Amino acid sequence: MIDRRKFIKSLSALGMSLPVLKSDLLAKPKKVAKGNPIILCSRGEKWGRKVLRPGWEVLRKRGSLLDAVEASANVTELDPEDTSVGYGGLPNMDGVVQLDASIMNGPDHNCGSVACIEGVKTPSSVARLVMERTDHIHLVGKGAQDFAIMHGFKIENLLTEKTRKIWVRWRENLSDKDDYFPPKSEKGSDKRTTGTINVLGVDSNGDVAGITTTSGLAWKIPGRVGDSPIIGAGLYLDNEVGAVGATGRGEEMIRSCGSFLGVELMRNGLSPQEACEEVCKRIIDINGGASKVDFNDKIVALGKNGDVGCASIREKKDDFPEIATWSKKGFKVTKGTYLIEQK
């Protein structure tokens, strides 16, 4: 065994210094801005106000940051009109709604998540219980559902009439080699959503927390897990730096460790906006350049000091990358940037 002191001595005798330890490279906590508390979601005007209102109410009354982000995430999860999250989310190829969600808490760097959970409208609340009431981080499928039942969650049909009809239309238009056919008057939809929502917050102590929740890729193969419940992919945060979340094509966030990357870029001095753009660039590079990219991801970031960022890989007509925030200054929508223009 090499004694560290002896090792340092022998290095200095050779005129060498010890490489900087990884922890010495970590940025010192940024000064917490007076602008906090703040809560952010990855939606613009249409959903932002509705989603953030209950979370802001909790923060305004100096309530718990985890309660705040959960209250906001639950809004979209419980709303049947949102077809990409929770109840009323688009189903898998068999017509079954399977939900993914994760939560992370800055002060103890703890996290919890559920994947492919069926029948529970608010998967982010189950993820929070995984974090707070177990020694595990990730529960999937039947195990996640049994855990939710144990904690009193009701098992319900998450497919609404609206999403059932969209699914049937997709199924009937999928192939001309099977026995299904759509009504003559109807055109099939080829829209495969990966909507998702991220809710990130910083409280007045400067502590950070976040949630990502989704019904995942529409018509996915049963059992497919996206980025949302994978810590470091669809959500990551560090209490000394801030939080990053993602929506869009989950597979790309997983293979780039995109949210972890965004937080580490902020730790190394990039602003939340620069970090979001850099993650998008990394994904484009991994894929061999802009001409090879036919999907989209949107990255959102919240610095510990309340600074925000938002960037998407591609421009999407009628869907500018934007985020909403609520702080003492009120409700605000901020436009992000995109890297690849729509042709």
Q: Can you give the binding site for ligand GLY, defined by CB under 6 A? A: 194, 196, 214, 216-217, 226-228, 234, 247-250
Sequence-ordered list of residues with C-beta below 8 angstroms from that of 138, at least 6 positions apart, any chain:
112, 113, 114, 115, 130, 229
User: DSSP code of 295?
Assistant: S
Pick the closest to residue 263 from 59, 27, 44, 73 (CA basis): 27
Cβ at position 247, least distance to ligand GLY in Å: 5
* Pairing of the two strands 38-41 and 322-327: antiparallel
Q: Which is nearer to ligand GLY, 123 or 250 (CB)?
A: 250
State how far the Cα of 72 lies from the Cα of 62, in Å rounded to an integer. 15
Cβ at position 214, least distance to ligand GLY in Å: 5
Token look-up 């939080």 returns: 243
| Cis ω for the linkage preceding 229 (within 30 of 0) | no
- Closest residue to ligand GLY in the complex (CB): 226
Sequence-ordered list of residues with C-beta below 8 angstroms from that of 166, at least 6 positions apart, any chain:
83, 90, 189
3-state secondary structure (DSSP) of residue 88: coil
User: DSSP code of 137?
Assistant: S
Query: Helix-strand-coil percent breakdown of the chain, rounded to 5?
Result: 35, 20, 45
Q: Which is nearer to ligand GLY, 248 or 309 (CB)?
A: 248
Cβ at position 220, least distance to ligand GLY in Å: 8
Residue type, 157: N
Cβ at position 27, least distance to ligand GLY in Å: 28
Cβ at position 117, least distance to ligand GLY in Å: 13
Cβ at position 132, least distance to ligand GLY in Å: 24
3-state secondary structure (DSSP) of residue 87: coil
State how far the Cα of 81 lies from the Cα of 89, in Å rounded to an integer. 8
Q: Which is nearer to ligand GLY, 76 or 247 (CB)?
A: 247
Q: Which is nearer to ligand GLY, 85 or 208 (CB)?
A: 85
Is residue 196 part of the annotated active site? The answer reads yes
Pick the closest to residue 54 from 42, 45, 63, 43 (CA basis): 63
Check: CB of residue 89 under 8 Å from CB of residue 98.
no
Cβ at position 320, least distance to ligand GLY in Å: 18
Catalytic residue among 196, 212, 247, 325: 196
CA distances to 3, 9, 23, 27, 91 from 17, in Å: 16, 9, 16, 21, 58
Check: CB of residue 127 under 8 Å from CB of residue 101.
yes
**How many other β-carbons are positioned within 10 Å of the β-carbon of residue 109?**
11
Q: Which residues are catalytic?
A: 196
